[in-house]
């Protein structure tokens, strides 16, 4: 059933039901600039996970990004290393449908010729125009990520995606015409060598009331999409007499996860071997014994990543992301990960509770050794890591701190869940 045949409603249970009316095709409520602003501030409105379920979260890294063929309305990079191009179009401007589609395809062809450094430069230019955007691109992506991002991973992932044409492009409007959907299939034939995903996204907008301050309800959905091209056909014309010298062997390549590039993580043995090579056998044994003790004592889960093992408090419901309370790095170093704060937000805890938990924990570690940063340490700052061999005598006290913060996290989550059920 089309979304245009359904009217959403604002419901106050037991009190009232108010059916909302969709904005007409011709309206003055907003313009394309509003859509660009909305999508840059709230990239979660873009249904990119309906295109690729492994895309991660989006960070807008540029507006009106200049390229030789024009200016990209909104440019994004995902926490999993996928570039996303967004062009906006109002329903009331049907004359621009062919132009916006052709231009989007031109943008795809240009962007795939870039590299990670170009994206980092676009973020630098964009952040300089906004006082509330601080930090380099890697740091900002970490703020949006469900887990810590390894620098080598994100750089390699972006460059690999670009070299393969593996980008996502979206044409977004308050309404998408059938004619534009037909044009997608026709014009995309000339770009069959690329592996891009192209989607037409409708942001259906509904009025809450007749007053200017009543606001609107925005409902995103994909109305048409083109899946990445897994194969293209090449015609080979042979001179007379050469047909018998040609051998054709059919090869079937299965679609699916084989085309995805997974993040390369260490296993436990690789991790321990790396420590031994960097810091010696004794350090390896001490670290293995230490994290094994923490895991057994507090029911933590280890996650072996490309450069470190993260000791995590598993989500109590078993269906969410864990919270990293301590990191042990393969060079034989230890640090209190700042990403813990972001992960606690994912658990739905109140900001003041998160501040209290992290402040108490990090301050306690800082009291034991001033090299533990009282504001937490990001994994992109290895100079702040502590050499494990230099804190061996403090391990019992560190274990006590870890035990207290684990208990505080679990208690805060239980309290939050009880409040919701009341």
Over residues 349-386, the pLDDT tens digits come to 999 999 999 999 999 999 999 999 998 887 666 788 99
pLDDT of residue 341: 86
Torsion of CA 177, 178, 182, 188, to 10 degrees: 40
The better pLDDT of the pair 413, 418 is held by 413
Grouping H, G, I as helix, E, B as strand and the rest as coil, residue 147 is coil
pLDDT of residue 259: 45
DSSP state of 52: -
Please state the pTM of the whole predicted model. 0.65
pLDDT of residue 300: 94
Tens of pLDDT, residues 130-189: 877 777 888 888 877 767 777 777 898 899 999 888 899 998 887 766 666 666 666 555
DSSP H helices in 325-385: 340-346, 351-368
pLDDT higher than 50, residue 287:
yes
Residue with tokens 């964009």: 126
pLDDT higher than 50, residue 225:
yes
Q: Do 301 and 322 meet the contact criterion of CB atoms below 8 Å apart?
A: yes
């Amino acid at each position: 059933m089309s979304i245009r045949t359904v009217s959403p409603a604002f419901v106050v249970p037991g009190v009232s039901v108010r059916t909302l009316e969709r904005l007409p095709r011709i309206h003055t409520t907003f313009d394309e600039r509003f859509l660009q602003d909305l999508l840059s501030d709230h990239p979660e409105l873009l249904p990119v996970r309906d295109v690729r379920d492994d895309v991660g979260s989006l960070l807008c890294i540029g507006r009106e990004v200049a390229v030789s063929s024009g200016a990209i309305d909104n440019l994004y990079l995902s926490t999993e290393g996928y570039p996303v191009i967004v062009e906006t179009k109002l329903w009331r401007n049907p004359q621009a449908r062919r132009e916006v589609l052709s231009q989007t395809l031109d943008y795809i062809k240009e962007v795939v010729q870039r590299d990670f450094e170009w994206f980092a430069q676009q973020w630098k230019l964009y952040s300089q125009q906004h006082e509330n955007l601080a930090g380099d691109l890697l740091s900002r992506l970490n703020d949006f990520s469900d887990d810590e991002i390894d620098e080598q991973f994100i750089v390699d992932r972006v460059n690999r995606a670009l070299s393969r044409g593996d980008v996502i492009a979206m044409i977004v409007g308050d309404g998408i015409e059938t004619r534009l959907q037909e044009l997608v299939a026709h014009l995309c034939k000339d770009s069959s060598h690329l592996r891009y995903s192209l989607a037409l996204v409708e942001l259906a907008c509904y009025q809450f009331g007749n007053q200017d301050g009543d606001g609107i309800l925005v409902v995103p959905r994909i109305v048409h999409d083109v899946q990445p091209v897994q194969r293209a056909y090449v015609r080979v014309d042979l001179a007379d007499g050469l047909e018998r010298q040609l051998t054709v062997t059919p090869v079937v390549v299965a679609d699916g996860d084989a085309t995805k590039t997974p993040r390369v993580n260490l296993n436990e043995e690789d991790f321990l071997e790396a420590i031994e090579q960097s810091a010696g056998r004794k350090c390896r044994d001490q670290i293995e014994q230490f994290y094994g003790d923490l895991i057994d004592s507090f029911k933590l889960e280890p996650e072996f990543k490309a450069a470190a093992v993260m000791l995590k408090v598993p989500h109590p419901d078993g269906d969410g992301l864990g919270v990293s309370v301590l990191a042990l790095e393969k060079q034989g170093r230890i640090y209190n990960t700042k990403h813990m704060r972001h992960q606690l937000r994912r658990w739905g805890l109140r900001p003041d509770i998160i501040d209290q938990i992290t402040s108490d924990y990090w301050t306690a570690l800082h009291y034991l050794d001033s090299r533990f940063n009282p504001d937490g340490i990001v994994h992109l700052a290895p100079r702040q890591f502590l050499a494990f061999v230099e804190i061996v005598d403090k391990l019992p006290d560190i274990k006590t701190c870890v035990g207290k913060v684990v208990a505080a996290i679990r208690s805060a989550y239980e309290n939050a869940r009880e409040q919701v059920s009341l």
